[in-house]
Amino acid sequence: MKFKLPLYLFCCFATFAFAQPRQEFVLKTGWKFSRGTHAQAYEKGFNDAKWEKINIPHDWAINNPFDKEVDKQVVAIEQNGEKTASEKTGRTGALPHVGEAWYRNNFNLPTLTKNQKVIILFEGAMSEPKVYLNGQKVGEWNYGYNYFYFDISQQVQQGANLLAVHLTNREKSSRWYPGAGLYRNVKIIIKEETSIEQWGTFITTPMITDNEAKVNIKTKVNGENLILKTIILNAKGDTIATKVTDEAFSKEFDQNLLLKQPQLWSPEQPYLYTAISKLYAKGVLKDELRTKFGVRSIAFDPNKGFSLNGQVRKFKGVCLHHDLGPLGAAVNIAAMRRQLRILKDMGCDAIRSSHNMPSREQLELCDEMGFMFLAESFDEWAKAKVANGYHRFFKTDAEKDIVNLVRATRNHSSIVMWSSGNEVPDQFGSDGAKLAKWLQDIFHKEDPTRPVTVGMDQVKATMASGFGAVMDIPGLNYRTHLYEDAYKAFPQRLILGSETGSTVSSRGVYKFPVVKASDKQHDDYQCSSYDLEYCRWSNLPEDDFVLEDTKPWVIGQFVWTGFDYLGEPTPYDDKWPSRSSYFGICDLAGLPKDRYYLYRSKWNTRDTTLHILPHWNWEGREGQTTPIFVYTNFKSAELFINGKSMGVQRKNKSSLQHQYRLMWMDVKYEPGTVKVVAFDDDGKVAAEKTMVTAGKPHRLVLEPDRKTIHADGDDIAFVTVSVVDKDGNPCPTANNQLNFKVKGEGVFKAVCNGDATSLEQFNLPTMKLFSGKLVLLVQSLKKAGKIELLVSGGGLKDGVLALSSE
């Protein structure tokens, strides 16, 4: 089996806003929102005077109090190996996302002609949206993660229009926090009847050499006797290729263009071209569309593994849920870009959307910043995981949901693989294998250039049923002890770690004694950041590292997860308060945990990594054993405590942990200075790092990810707030209550400290530090100018930060 996968593009419709012959605008403002049934809310005469005025994207639940009673479930979580049902209070985040709600928007359209058509496009609506325009129902869609659109040409009016959207979030419909509302964009597209179909362009690069690349562009159109002119621009905007075609077969143009000396897309060099499609009828321009794409090839070969542009490599990936921590599910480009910057520095080069369809913005950023993407579709098929999950719609909706996913996203150069599901109970028996084949065939029909995988956790069952043999790429979720058996059983001769790790930790929290432990629970509902705790069904990072390093047929991994997410607080699913995950390499605020540096030491081959843990503020542990770990890309290092050598440690094969970590297990705590000196392969000093025991917390330090943000009302500066003593040493155990004020052309948006047990609301301007830190979000207004942030409280010297928007 060998897949050679070209390149794909993406439609940037915003480029055409208010420009003939195609117009497009985002319905961002002018919305009113209310919870409840409001049976007549779709009618023009309905009184919405007291409804809340909001902008979209919008998550109606994220700014509310956490509540133990929200979506409380009594269930045994099969994926966690539970046999007995118990009360789960934070499984879906404990935020009030359950219920019905309405959105209304009065918008105006410009002058329309009889030959124009109008489309309304939803990029995601949570969930079960029913859409009304001017009192008429125009359609509905069940899956909250999908893109969908309706032709509203018959219902829309020139001038004023009333759009109403009804949403229903049912209890027991998710295994994590799903968000609520119109959490992705809604767009109006006005174009000629004679035009390019919605998502009708498909760009691939089926042939690439060092000197040239063949670009194939298939374009579906409405109309007869048309001419299609395609222009390709390089990243500078220069025209480098042009093609004019007047022959369409079954209303589809098929063009091939030649690029000389192509720049290839890769995570290291994410080069993007732009294709301009111009559609003419009788010499008149009828439609114009711009599509970004990259030139690249992918191959999955049983003899070589995975290769990108002819170079064999392994996925260094993470799984990401769709929520953005304190922002909830509402899409925000600044928040997603920040996540990807943090992951890029770690050495990550791939993302898996888990377990849902990705947002357009996330894919655009991955194209631009250089991340390979595994685009997933469903968490349920025909058999249920939760009482009101997707299984209710699977038989009627699965095909159209996949079709929309592929057509809406297939031109993204970042996407290298599709996933039709995750840990579905249908893995057992021949019926499940047939479903897997049916879904895979739909993907292949819509996109024959990329392979399909499924995240399989019931590996023995998939070996027995033929389920795993059906898939283009067998994806294993955990079960590292079964990799060899699966490799021998599956004909593909390749294994993807579709979900790996699930090590659990709380940033800056350390537990003693330091031992490897499964399903370990502590009285404070935190997990140790020594990175030795995991779940009964999961494992530690080293178990996956060694498979990658020793098995050429293991093509890489996607770690669960890159960031903590709301809901699913394993191993404290049945404990309150515990309302978000512990799996993240970074916490819910986006702050790296210690584990981040373990992955960085393995994955980031450009930069030096030298990280020490734990912190060195342990009043009351004097003389007690307090192990020190070092995560580094060097093979050896020497540890000093107050100038005294604790010896040199070298990475070795005495245990899995010793292959990838340097560990001094017998260190006795004494306050003072910890120093680590790392050596290169020649034994020369390569890097040094020092930390000291901090004194009493004295003042606040504010560190923004950016000092200048865009004055668009959406952009956000993420400010890390920490505490230092009078000498400037970080205070890693500070938990002071802080208060926040923003002045000028910005507003306080949210705050998060990364504590999975905190019940403080994200949208209130006060929060406790957790392990000495928190992250504050400052959002721009639509007027450029200066912004001042003041952080105070806890008896500390205030922190003041000057920002600006432009």
Say which residues have a Cβ less than 8 Å from residue 727's Cβ, sequence separation at least 6: 695
- Secondary structure class of 221 (helix, strand, coil): strand
Amino acid at residue number 642 = N
- Secondary structure class of 16 (helix, strand, coil): helix
Say which residues have a Cβ less than 8 Å from residue 400's Cβ, sequence separation at least 6: none
Give the whole-angstrom CA distance, residue 623 versus residue 628: 14
Contact 770, 758 (CB under 8 A): yes
Give the whole-angstrom CA distance, residue 598 versus residue 651: 13
Q: At what angle do helices 360-369 and 394-409 cross, to 10 degrees?
A: 40
- Secondary structure class of 111 (helix, strand, coil): coil
The pair phi, psi for residue 432, each rounded to 5°, is -65, -40
Distances in whole angstroms, Cα of residue 116 to Cα of each of 184, 196, 781: 26, 13, 35
Contact 365, 337 (CB under 8 A): yes
- Secondary structure class of 88 (helix, strand, coil): strand
Query: Can 499 be counted among the known catalytic residues?
Result: yes
Contact 390, 380 (CB under 8 A): yes
Distances in whole angstroms, Cα of residue 623 to Cα of each of 548, 616, 619, 645: 40, 13, 10, 16
Amino acid at residue number 34 = S
- Secondary structure class of 462 (helix, strand, coil): helix
Encoded tokens for 390: 């997707």
Say which residues have a Cβ less than 8 Å from residue 229's Cβ, sequence separation at least 6: 242, 243, 244, 245, 277, 278, 280
Encoded tokens for 131: 């859409």
DSSP E strands in 261-357: the ranges are 273-281, 284-293, 298-301, 305-308, 311-312, 315-320, 350-353
Cis peptide before 577 (omega within 30 of 0): yes
Closest C-alpha to 617, from 510, 707, 733: 733
Instruction: Indicate which residue of 24, 128, 288, 499 is catalytic.
Output: 499
Encoded tokens for 280: 């003419």
Instruction: Indicate which residue of 423, 446, 533, 542 is catalytic.
Output: 423
Structure letter (DSSP) for residue 575: S
Q: At what angle do helices 541-550 and 594-603 cross, to 10 degrees?
A: 10
Encoded tokens for 226: 């048309």
Give the whole-angstrom CA distance, residue 745 versus residue 730: 31
DSSP for 587-613 reads -TTS-B-HHHHHHHHHH--SS--EEEE
Q: At what angle do helices 333-346 and 594-603 cross, to 10 degrees?
A: 60
Exposure string of 528-559, with b = 16+ CB inside 10 Å and e = fewer, is: bbbbbbbbebbbbbbbbbbbbeeeebbbbbbb
Encoded tokens for 138: 């125009």
Structure letter (DSSP) for residue 616: S
Give the whole-angstrom CA distance, residue 721 versus residue 418: 39
Largest CA distance in the chain: 88
By annotation, the residues acting in catalysis are 423, 499
